[in-house]
Structure 1
Amino acid sequence: MTVGFIMMCHTALHRAAQVARYWAENDAPVVIHVDARVSDADFTALGRSLADLGNVSFSKRFKCEWGTWSLVSAAQAGAEQMLARHAEVRHVYLASGSCLPLRPLRELVDYLDARPQTDFIESVTTAEVGWTVGGIDMERFTLRFPFSWKKQRRLFDRYVEFQRRIKFRRRIPDGIVPHLGSQWWCLTRQTLSAILQDPERVAHDRYFSKVWIPDESYFQSLARLYSANIESRSLTLSKFDYQGKPHIFYDDHLQLLRRSDCFVARKIWPKADRLYATFLSNRPPESMAEPNPAKIDRLFSKAVERRTKGRPGLYMQSRFPRQDHENGKTSAPYSIFQGFSDLFENFEGWLAKHVGARVHGHLFAPDRAEFSGGETMFNGCLIDNATLRDYNPRGFLTNVIWNARGERQCFMFSPRDTQAVNWFTATDPHAQISVITGAWAVPLFRSNRNFGEIRSEAARLQQIEIDHINILRSMYVKARVRIWNMAEFIENPMEPLQTIIDEISPRATRRLTEAPQLVDLTGFGQFLQNLKNQGMKPRLMGDFPMGGDGPSQSPRRGRPYLVK
């Protein structure tokens, strides 16, 4: 007794011919169905290439379309021809033209000989499956589907909606319990012939011809009526992604396919020369290992996760996420300092010295992105051009973090800078945002501009900072935010600086012994008073003495604490 193969072919006929020849030359009869849409020239060439094999034949051709009854009709025609012409066949194996045997045919024959009454067909009820994609489960058996989902999608959707609205329900034939499963099965002659010769076949065919994707339910449901022993699994390795589309195997999947111990795999890339050369070679039987596709399920699960979720902080064409549905807005922690570079001399150099991070200037400055060290180009060929940066500020920031992952990134920020990333950074758990409010006034104080211009600019910058602070105090904020007004910060800068340094470099045990050099604030109090006298009220500097030179710096250094 042996096994016979039905092959459903529509493309890459030269590869289907190789597989058919392999099976036929190893004494397994093959019946080939070629889609009626294949040209006569290609069909004739396929028949000519296999003409020397007496156990290869071609069945009646149907014009097949995905998800339609035509696929079942083609399988029925091939099965009837197999049973009629090859009395020695005990098991019939349905395969596609893109299938490839992974183990010697002798191993499959021995495996089936040890299980002469077993049907291998995935067959489960709709309540037991989670792989149905498209929102139609039990309804595929109770509604009618006369329209093609691919070619007549609008009619398909409207007709389904109409049937739901009028609460239409089809009657399932008596004795039929709808089951679903993979269309690639291996059935015994006894079960297959019972399905094809059933006196109620006309009624069964009429019912299933209007079922949604009948090739995944016809044999799967009817086998339950006649099989003495069903193993609800397929002997063909086929993997599907989260959209229900089959994974394609390439040459670099060779070891993965060997590890599965499955007898047949689909879907094989037609140009995978190494796979075809390896698995179609005449190899002696090696073992009776049980097919175990679960061995490689972990890798496919990781692939699906990578495709659907992506890597944290990586934005790419093949998986561009919707806003607020990202797998992490950025790829690594980073720090933003607002007001520090205005209040301290060379704050960037001091910070880089104490944290060992990459410290940039104002990445979102109006004229250019100030990369660390004054560079004009950063990792990943990011240039300092402000126009390109502002075309997609979020993309620019995420690329800066991604291209330098493994190294902490810090940058300065100011109300003078582009504000387009404020909500993005505020809702990013990776962000550490430290703000000294009112420090933007120090460069105005030290500038040599007309006071009318200074007053107008101060009003503008103050409103921008107020808007930013409101964002940072929103209930939606996920960043680590610390806010000080200018007066309280310069009163004792060591405590907040130590807290910030400890968070950026938690493993560093060294205590700060020096603060960055504070800019000369002599006369700053009078400057603020002048702004107030001119009608612009400073609101963000804190309790800053308007008539003096600012709070005195206390030499006391207490223990650092977190400001939430």
Structure 2
Amino acid sequence: MARIAFILLTHKDPQRVIDQARRLTASGDFVAIHFDRNAPAEDYRRIRDALADSPGVTFAARRMKCGWGDWSLVAATLETLRAAARDFPQATHFYLLSGDCMPIKSAEYARSFLDGEDCDYIESVDFFDGNWIKTGIRDERLIYRHWFNERRNKTLFYASIDLQKRLGLNRRLPEGLQIMIGSQWWCLRRQTVEAVLDLIAGWPQMVRFFRTTWIPDETFFQTLVAHVVPRARIRSRSLTFLMFTDYGMPVTFYNDHYDLLLRQDFLFARKISGEALDLRQRLGQLWQAEDQAFPISAEGPRLFGFLTGRGRIGRRFAPRFWETDGSLGRSRVVHLIVAKKWHIAKRLTRRIRTLTEIPAVDYVFNETEAGLPDMGGVASSLAKRERHRRALLKLMFERFEFDRLVLCLDPAALSLIRDFAADRAEARILFIDSRFDDDYLRGHMRRMGLASDSTPPEMYRRLLPVVRGDLEDEAERLRDMEFEHFETMAGHLPADLNAGAIARFLDVPAAIAQDLAATPKLFAD
């Protein structure tokens, strides 16, 4: 059975460290602690005194003054890892944690999970080809030597890089070592830890290289584990759930995140707010739970992105530079059916194809199969279609050999709607106004990935008004744009009003518009 030695890196709040160590060892596991030497000495003494009688707790032999981005974090981890490997021979796995981490599964579940597969869990992708670094310097992390910390002395940090660059002081990477990168939070088997420590002891030049790289906690263990362990035995992922905001800052979890955290496919989560006392208490009790099931839905990142994105209206709809030139042509008409309930819009386009000669396609920017003719490479992916939206429509006009075209758009696609309305071609909009009952909204949440079959009723209850309000807001923003040619139809409106809207939208005779409005089960869900 798996027994875990937790490598606990901490720098503040001694009582929280004490509580965390007692909680984790109460299940029969172990804890090795490093407490930052930048912290007050009396805080460290308090931790040592409180845990002196705990046989499952040990401490790093040396304490480091840790700084974000530099070697000290790796050095602190190594000191603590060596202590754990020495003092806890029964440990089968070594799990790196911070003081802001809390369990989101039980110890029973964690052991069963680790027993299920003989492998290491560490995110490890190729440094140069993996596209893992999104912002900041990249190759410069490795090829130049870093003696200064960017956060403590930004001027010297960048001056040092510029000087090395001007003098051509690029250095070679350690021969025979493929540099890997990934999250610093890992869980490794004992044999892997022992192999890494042996490699470090026998290869001092490699250690000297990493000592002067930038942010080595994202490359050191990731590289060494991949060097000593076959790829088939590495799962390139962390078992600690964390997310980042649009600004690159870690998301902090609070009391109302308990249900969301438990449904993620991870064993621990960070960062848990120090003020979230109820969440901390519940997660602390969870570690001791027995026979508890954990339905996994893993919708956390998508749900967080949805909820935070709602507060950024207007920022995502800026025109793309490659769309600012070109036109569909003054003589052409684009008929846009805008509907959140896609099945209604597609019933109408199917009927339009039957009763008129106007070409009509479906949600070409949302669905691969949308009634498109052969368009070549420009239609090979949804991303390419949206990126080359006007080129796509021009080709569609040419393929259909017609100067009018009907297509469907979701109300959320305001950038597309605004772009087509601004073209020299005439754009007409038919908005299908829909009512959304709770059953539809639940299905909508599942389709968006905000919920799953295992999502508890309480989460649905809390999300329903949020999602309903979001859909209503989409419709209001569409109306507020005050397009010149804008019609509305709805299932609750009289048939003659819907027929009139269709007649003006498509410029078809009244009889055909009435037949279209009377499409069987048009508004049925």
What's the TM-score bracket when you normalise by the shorter of the two chains?
0.5 to 0.7
Aligned with 1:260: secondary structure? coil
Are the counterparts in 2 of residues 24 and 30 from structure 1 also a CA contact under 8 Å? yes
Distance 1:260 1:510 in 2: 49
Q: 1:407 to 1:329 in 2, by over 3 A?
A: closer
Distance 2:56 2:7 in 1: 12
Q: Residue by residue, what CA displacement relative to the aligned partner does 1:510-530 show, whole Å, maximum 9, x if unpaired?
A: 99xxxxxxxxxxxxxxxxxxx
Are the counterparts in 2 of residues 143 and 160 from structure 1 also a CA contact under 8 Å? yes
Question: What's 2:191 paired with?
Answer: 190
Distance 1:143 1:407 in 2: 52
Q: Residue by residue, what CA displacement relative to the aligned partner does 1:493-517 show, whole Å, maximum 9, x if unpaired?
A: xxxxxxx8xx487896899xxxxxx
Q: How does 1:478-489 map to 2 (within 5 A)?
A: none
Q: Residue by residue, what CA displacement relative to the aligned partner does 1:359-378 show, whole Å, maximum 9, x if unpaired?
A: xxxxxxxxxxxxxxxxxxxx
Question: What's 1:51 paired with?
Answer: 52
Count of paired positions: 347
Letter in 2 for 1:245: M
- Counterpart of 1:268 (choices 260, 265, 272) is 272
Distance 1:71 1:293 in 2: 33
Distance 1:293 1:246 in 2: 21
Q: Residue by residue, what CA displacement relative to the aligned partner does 1:119-159 show, whole Å, maximum 9, x if unpaired?
A: 11110012454442433223322222221010111222222
Are the counterparts in 2 of residues 33 and 74 from structure 1 also a CA contact under 8 Å? yes
Q: Does residue 67 of the first structure (1) align with residue 69 of the second (2)?
A: yes
Shift of 1:32: 0.7
Shift of 1:15: 2.2
Distance 1:65 1:57 in 2: 23
Are the counterparts in 1 of residues 107 and 289 from structure 2 also a CA contact under 8 Å? no
Question: What's 1:301 paired with?
Answer: 305
Question: What's 2:175 paired with?
Answer: 174
Question: What's 1:99 paired with?
Answer: 101
Identify the structure with bigger relative contact order (alpha carbons < 8 Å, sequence gap 6+): 2
Q: Does residue 286 of the first structure (1) align with residue 292 of the second (2)?
A: yes
Question: What's 2:125 paired with?
Answer: 124
Distance 2:191 2:23 in 1: 26
Distance 2:267 2:29 in 1: 14
RMSD: 3.6
Question: What's 1:206 paired with?
Answer: 208
Deviates further, 212-221 or 36-45: 36-45
Shift of 1:261: 3.6
Are the counterparts in 2 of residues 262 and 293 from structure 1 also a CA contact under 8 Å? no
Distance 1:225 1:408 in 2: 59
Are the counterparts in 1 of residues 132 and 182 from structure 2 also a CA contact under 8 Å? no
Aligned with 1:219: secondary structure? helix
Letter in 1 for 2:218: E
Distance 2:198 2:65 in 1: 24
Are the counterparts in 2 of residues 94 and 186 from structure 1 also a CA contact under 8 Å? yes
Distance 1:109 1:510 in 2: 64
Q: 1:8 to 1:509 in 2, by over 3 A?
A: closer
Are the counterparts in 1 of residues 30 and 88 from structure 2 also a CA contact under 8 Å? yes
Question: What's 1:151 paired with?
Answer: 152
Are the counterparts in 1 of residues 71 and 216 from structure 2 also a CA contact under 8 Å? yes
Question: What's 1:40 paired with?
Answer: 41
Distance 2:210 2:317 in 1: 39
Q: Does residue 24 of the first structure (1) align with residue 64 of the second (2)?
A: no
Question: What's 2:228 paired with?
Answer: 226
Are the counterparts in 1 of residues 196 and 228 from structure 2 also a CA contact under 8 Å? yes
Q: 1:92 to 1:405 in 2, by over 3 A?
A: same
Are the counterparts in 1 of residues 102 and 283 from structure 2 also a CA contact under 8 Å? yes
Are the counterparts in 1 of residues 262 and 294 from structure 2 also a CA contact under 8 Å? no
- Counterpart of 1:235 (choices 230, 236, 239) is 239
Q: Residue by residue, what CA displacement relative to the aligned partner does 1:303-354 show, whole Å, maximum 9, x if unpaired?
A: 56456xx113xxxxxxx999989x9999x99xxxxxxxxxxxxxxxxxxxxx
Shift of 1:209: 1.0
Q: Does residue 244 of the first structure (1) align with residue 241 of the second (2)?
A: no
Q: Residue by residue, what CA displacement relative to the aligned partner does 1:26-73 show, whole Å, maximum 9, x if unpaired?
A: 111111100111111222222233233221122121110111100000
Are the counterparts in 2 of residues 111 and 288 from structure 1 also a CA contact under 8 Å? no
Aligned with 1:277: secondary structure? helix
TM-score for both structures, normalised by structure 2: 0.59
Gapped regions of structure 1 (runs ≥ 5): 313-319, 334-401, 410-429, 433-479, 481-499, 512-558, 560-564
Distance 2:244 2:479 in 1: 39
Letter in 2 for 1:52: D
Q: 1:255 to 1:152 in 2, by over 3 A?
A: same
Letter in 2 for 1:260: Q
Aligned with 1:44: secondary structure? helix
Letter in 2 for 1:209: R
Shift of 1:288: 8.0
- Counterpart of 1:110 (choices 109, 112, 115) is 112
Aligned with 1:73: secondary structure? helix
TM-score for both structures, normalised by structure 1: 0.55
Q: 1:167 to 1:407 in 2, by over 3 A?
A: closer
Shift of 1:244: 2.5
Shift of 1:242: 3.0
As a proportion of its length, which structure holds more helix?
2
Are the counterparts in 2 of residues 6 and 75 from structure 1 also a CA contact under 8 Å? yes
Are the counterparts in 2 of residues 133 and 244 from structure 1 also a CA contact under 8 Å? no
Are the counterparts in 2 of residues 12 and 270 from structure 1 also a CA contact under 8 Å? no
Q: 1:311 to 1:47 in 2, by over 3 A?
A: same
Are the counterparts in 2 of residues 103 and 261 from structure 1 also a CA contact under 8 Å? no
Distance 2:318 2:225 in 1: 47
Q: 1:194 to 1:510 in 2, by over 3 A?
A: closer
